[in-house]
Amino acid sequence: MGSLQFTKATKQRRGKAGKVDASLSKKLQEAKWGEFKLGDLFDIKNTLSFNKEKLTVGNQYDYVTRTSQNQGILIETGYINKENLNSSGNWSLGLLQMDFFYRQKPWYAGQFVRKIVPKIQLKKNSVLYFTALLNKQKQNLLSVLVRDVDKTFLNTIVQLPILKDGQIDFDFMENFIAELEAERIAELEAERIAELEAYLSVTGLKDYTLTKEEQQALDYFESDQIKFGKYAYSTIFNKIIQGRRLKKDDQIPGKIPFVMAGITNTGVINYISNPVAIFPRNSITIDIFGNTFYRNYTFGAGDDTGVYWNDNVNYSKKIMLYLTASIRKSLVGKFSYGKKLRSSRSLNFKILLPIQSNIPNYQAMETFISAIQKLVIKDVVLYANQKIAATKMVVQSENNKN
C-alpha cells in the first residue's frame, strides 16, 4: 500500500472529522517506500480452538470468533486450561469478514479463526499502523476461497516506509501515528467547541457565567427568601383541553408528533398525518398519570393527555419551563392506573409560584430558569473538558511507554 492509499485509508478512518493535516500528507508523500511480502513479516497459523460451551464466564481471557463485532470477542471467559490458549501480541483473523484484530492478552479461539504472528518486533504505534495495513487486505482475501486465504495472505505485497538502506522505517510509523492521534485530539476539541457554540446559540446562552440577577435569584431560593402564593391551573391557563382518542391501528404515518400517556420520548409515541386537533407550541401536556412535559412545537394528543396553554398571555419559554416543573412537583405520586387524572378535574388544582405585590412574579421565574440552564451548561462544558483532558493523558501515557 503506497502513500496515496494510506492517506485515503486515514481519511476514511477519521470520517467527518476532516481531512488529514497537510503536514502529515506531506510526510507521506516525501517518505521513501519499499515493497515487502507479508509472508516475510508475518506467519499465519491455525488457532487452538475451544468449545465455548465448556468455558466459564469471566474476564481473564477473551473468546474470539469470526464475528466483526466487539473486536471479534463473543464472550469473556474465565480460566479453563492453558493448553488451549493462544498467546498475546498477535492478530486474530476471522475467516467470515476477514477482520484483523490485535490481541493484547492471551485468548481462546472459536472455529474459522486464524492467528497472524509477527516476525518483527513492534511498538504500540507500529501495531496500530500494521492493523490498518492488514485490514486494507480484506477485499483481496474475501475474493478467494477460505482454503486459499493462507497462501494469498503470505504472498501479498505491501508498501512500507523505508530507510536509506532499504530497511523498514519503524520510527516513521511511530511518529506518524503519534501525530495522527495528537491531531485527532485537537479535532475533538474543535468539534466540542463548535457543538457547544451551536447549542448556546440555539438556547440563547452565550456562556455559563451567571449574571448578578441570576446569582441573586439562586441565593434567594436557597435561603428561602422568596414569597410564594398558590394559584389554580385555571388562573394560569385559559385553555385546558383533553386530547382526542386515536387508536394505533388508525394512525397514518406523517410529520405531526402524537402524544400519549408515558414518559418514554416525553410521551411522543408516533408521527402521524391524521386530521386530529393540533395543539399549539408553547403548551404543557399532563397525562392521566401526572407526567408533565413542555412542548415547544405543534402536536396532536390522545384522549389520555390534557393540554394547557394561554392564548391571551404570552408566557416566555423560560416561564413555561418553570410552570412545568412546578406542576410536575404538585402532581408527583398522586395518580396511577387506579386513579387517573383528567384535565377537566384539574381546573382548581393549585401550584406554588413566586409572588411580588400579591401577584405572580414571572420575572423571578424567568431569571431562576435562566440561572438553572447556565448551571447545566456549565456542567456539560466542564464534563467535556475533563473527557478531552483524560484522553490527552491516556495518549501521552501510552506514548511515554514507547
pLDDT digits (tens, 9 = 90+) for 53-77: 666 666 677 778 777 777 777 655 5
- Whether residue 14 is predicted with pLDDT greater than 60 in this model: the reply is no
pLDDT of residue 8: 45
pLDDT of residue 305: 96
pLDDT of residue 54: 64
pLDDT of residue 15: 46
Q: What is the rounded CA–CA span in Å between residue 333 and residue 2?
A: 66
Whether residue 322 contacts residue 365, with contact meaning beta carbons closer than 8 Å, is answered with: yes
pLDDT of residue 319: 96
pLDDT digits (tens, 9 = 90+) for 182-225: 888 777 777 777 776 677 667 666 678 889 999 999 999 888 89
Instruction: For residue 189, give every residue at least 6 positions away whose Cβ sits within 8 Å of its Cβ, in sequence order, or none.
Output: 388
pLDDT digits (tens, 9 = 90+) for 2-12: 444 444 444 44
More confident residue, 256 or 51: 256
Query: Which residues, in sequence order, are bridge partners of residue 144?
Result: none
> Comparing 69-73, 100-104, 341-345, which segment has the lowest mean pLDDT?
69-73
| Average pLDDT score over residue span 368-372 | 92
- Output the CATH code of domain 213-363: 3.90.220.20
The 3 state secondary structure assigned to the chain is CCHHHHHHHHHHHHHHHCCCCHHHHHHHHHCCEEEEEHHHHEEEEECCECCHHHCCEEEEEEEECCCCCHHHEEEEECCCCHHHCECCCEEEEECCCCEEEEECCCEEECCCEEEEEECCCCCHHHHHHHHHHHHCCHHHHHCCCHHHHHHHHHHCEEEEEECCCCCECHHHHHHHHHHHHHHHHHHHHHHHHHHHHHHHHHHCCCCCCCCHHHHHHHHHHHCCCCCEEEEEHHHHCCEEEECCCCCHHHCCEEEEEEECCCCHHHHEEEEECCCCCCECCCEEEEECCCCEEEECCCEEECCCEEEEECCCCCCCHHHHHHHHHHHHHHHCCCCECCECCCHHHCCCCEEEEEEECCEECHHHHHHHHHHHHHHHHHHHHHHHHHHHHHHHHHHHHHHHHC
pLDDT digits (tens, 9 = 90+) for 378-399: 877 777 667 667 666 665 665 5
Instruction: Answer left, alpha or beta for residue 109, where phi above 0 means left and psi between -120 and 50 means alpha.
Output: beta
- Whether residue 327 is predicted with pLDDT greater than 90 in this model: the reply is yes
| Average pLDDT score over residue span 130-140 | 94
| Average pLDDT score over residue span 89-116 | 90
pLDDT of residue 230: 95
* Range 3-169 classified under CATH 3.40.30.10: no
Q: What is the rounded CA–CA span in Å between residue 234 and residue 253?
A: 34
- As annotated, the residues of the chain forming the CATH 3.90.220.20 domain(s) are 3-169, 213-363
Q: How confident is residue 83, by pLDDT bands cut at 50, 70 and 90?
A: low
| Average pLDDT score over residue span 122-149 | 93
Q: What is the rounded CA–CA span in Å between residue 287 and residue 302?
A: 9
- Whether residue 33 is predicted with pLDDT greater than 50 in this model: the reply is yes
pLDDT of residue 178: 87
Closest CA to 306 of 239, 256, 254: 239
Instruction: Answer left, alpha or beta for residue 55, where phi above 0 means left and psi between -120 and 50 means alpha.
Output: beta
Whether residue 76 contacts residue 59, with contact meaning beta carbons closer than 8 Å, is answered with: yes
| Average pLDDT score over residue span 337-343 | 92
On average, the pLDDT of the chain sits at: 85
pLDDT of residue 204: 64
* pTM exceeding 0.75: no
- Whether residue 289 is predicted with pLDDT greater than 90 in this model: the reply is yes
pLDDT of residue 191: 77
